[in-house]
Amino acid sequence: MDQYLPISIIGTRGGANKACEKLENAGVPIMLQFIEVEEAGEKISAYRLLVPMEFREASLTLLGITADGSVIEQLNAKAA
Closest CA to 47 of 9, 20, 18: 9
Q: 8, 76 in Cβ contact below 8 A?
A: no
Q: Check whether 1 has a pLDDT greater than 70.
A: no
Class of domain 16-79: alpha beta
Kindly state the average pLDDT of the residues 56-73.
72
Q: What is the pLDDT of residue 80?
A: 47
pLDDT digits (tens, 9 = 90+) for 32-58: 999 998 878 898 899 999 999 999 888
List alpha helices for 1-80, DSSP H. Answer: 13-25, 56-63, 70-79
Q: 79, 14 in Cβ contact below 8 A?
A: yes
**Model pTM?**
0.73
Given strand 31-39, what is the order of strands in its sheet?
A: 4-10, 42-52, 31-39
